[in-house]
Amino acid sequence: MLVSPSSIRALAFHRRLPLPLPLPRPHPLPLLQPRPPPRSSPALPRSTMAFSAEPAGEEAEEEALPAVAGSGGGEVNPEEWRRWGTSSPLPAMVAAVVRELLEMEAEAGEKMRFGGVGSKIKGDFKDIEDKKHRAVYETLADSDKKLQYFSARQIACRLLGSRGYLCQKCWLPMEDCMCAKLGSCNLWQGIQFWLYMHPKDFLRQNNTGKLLWQVFGIQAAHLCLFGIQEHEDIMWDAFQRSGCERWTF
């Protein structure tokens, strides 16, 4: 199972459980030349980071989605969720956010439209939804609940905004689908991958982590989305069952 040590530490903190073994600290590398001290900036609380500004570098490099209507097909069901290339269960909060968006669309009498990097909601419906989700966010006192709601909303918008545009296996536009060019491969017996993914990386066209389950299959490469409680519980329990001596980072 391949995960990053920092992700494991964050997950252990989130679950309020101790790590099976203390992870060794990396040795500091000597600097070739002195560097100016970094500018001090106050650390943002976890709840504030959820609505911080979008990074202008990495995400801007991804091809922006054209404006498309994404509510066709109704609610997201487990079958559609699995077609996006994962064996993990459909998160209950993601399904609930999708349901809320569809209800808001029906009440507003205006179709949802998505576009740009990350399948963002566009048009007049954006203002309606923005007020609604911020009001819900403010009612959540616990920082973990805020993070879970933020993650669920990100995933829900990406699911609706990618319908009919992205291939459900390779996450590329239909006209650029590369599924036929990929071959499958079997892992050694007993080896499995766990991909711990940020919600903003879910369904990104330039996400290369999806190649794991495209090549090795969804039973050998498992997806865990950060901030989704069901996924983190399943991944952590799998680590606990395997034993700390069997982890590879």
pLDDT at position 58, please?
A: 42
pLDDT at position 74, please?
A: 85
pLDDT at position 56, please?
A: 39
Total tally of structural domains belonging to the chain = 1
Q: Which residues pair with 116 in a beta bridge?
A: 65
228 lies in some domain: yes
User: Which residue range forms the structural domain that includes residue 150?
Assistant: 5-14+63-246
Q: How far apart are the first and last CA of the chain?
A: 7
Contact status, residue 105 vs residue 99, Cβ threshold 8 Å? no
89 lies in some domain: yes
123 lies in some domain: yes
206 lies in some domain: yes
pLDDT at position 12, please?
A: 46
d(CA 102, CA 159): 13
114 lies in some domain: yes
pLDDT at position 137, please?
A: 85
d(CA 125, CA 60): 23
200 lies in some domain: yes
Q: What is the pLDDT along the chain (249 residues), one digit of tens a residue?
A: 444 445 444 444 445 444 444 444 545 544 445 555 555 444 444 433 333 334 334 444 444 445 455 556 689 999 999 989 888 889 999 999 999 999 988 888 878 888 766 668 888 888 888 888 888 888 988 899 999 999 999 999 999 989 888 999 899 999 999 989 888 888 888 788 889 999 999 999 899 888 888 888 888 888 999 999 999 999 999 888 887 666 665
pLDDT at position 33, please?
A: 52
117 lies in some domain: yes
25 lies in some domain: no
Q: Which residues pair with 176 in a beta bridge?
A: none
